[in-house]
Structure 1
Amino acid sequence: MKVITLCGSTKFKKQFEQANAYLTLQGNVVIGLAFFEQSEGFQITHEQAELLGNIHFKKIDLSDEIFIIDVDGYIGNSTRKEIEYAKKKGKAIRYYSDGEIPAEFSVVPPHSC
């Protein structure tokens, strides 16, 4: 069982949820994001952004590897910093764009009674 931290732009909420479910069903402990400020329209201050970045570095410290949510190869500045940090810490790095998660895999919401 590995501990994996998801990294990437918060605008890719659907892909984060997909990766979280897929990797969890593979028997991993998955660490995600607290919320998706870009997808959900949260406004955060510069100080809050720095705090969230530092928290994410701690999540990387606790992990065996990171899984980058890089839809269409997109990697923003914060994610680049997380990749460099993970490299310095000797963490394995995998990418969503490598196609490990089958295109047809989706999270099926539970049926209502």
Structure 2
Amino acid sequence: MSSRKYPVITLCGSTRFKDEFMEAQKRLTLEGNIVISVGLFGHSGDSEVWENMDEGTLTKTKEMLDDMHKRKIDMADEIFVINVGGYIGDSTRSEIEYAKKHNKKIMYLEEKN
């Protein structure tokens, strides 16, 4: 049994970039990393989850998912930001700040200028 330590990477970014999330997850896994991703794609897919929720439940669910993602960052050695076309939304920006505050390494899909 190998006792190799695999780096843990949490993916962050807008859930509208579902294909890029899947691609990054595969590539990073094949490079020898344990990858933690989002549980739901709110902006592209998984609409059956959202369409029957009332406003209050929707708000609570989104808050829970945001908090859960911070816990996923806690578990990781680094985060990998899916910033297609340089896009970084408010939630992702707050996750980057959180990762910085907790001394996590931060990598980007697209290099920031």
Letter matched to residue 7 of structure 2 = K
Letter matched to residue 51 of structure 1 = M
Aligned residues: 98
Aligned structure 1 segments of 4 or more residues deviating by more than 4 angstroms: none
How does 1:17-36 map onto structure 2 within 5 Å? 17-36=22-41
Residue from 2, 11, 24 that aligns with 1:6: 11
| Structure 2, unpaired ranges of 5+ | 1-5
TM-score, reference length from structure 1: 0.84
| Structure 1, unpaired ranges of 5+ | 99-113
Rounded to whole Å, the distance in 2 between the matches of 1:74 and 1:46 is 23
Identical aligned residues as a percent: 51
How far apart are 1:14 and its partner, in Å? 0.1
Answer yes or no: is the 8 Å Cα contact 2:81–2:109 preserved in 1: yes
Answer yes or no: is the 8 Å Cα contact 2:40–2:46 preserved in 1: no
How does 1:60-99 map onto structure 2 within 5 Å? 60-98=73-111
Query: Which SS does the other structure have where 2:43 is aligned?
Result: helix
TM-score, reference length from structure 2: 0.84
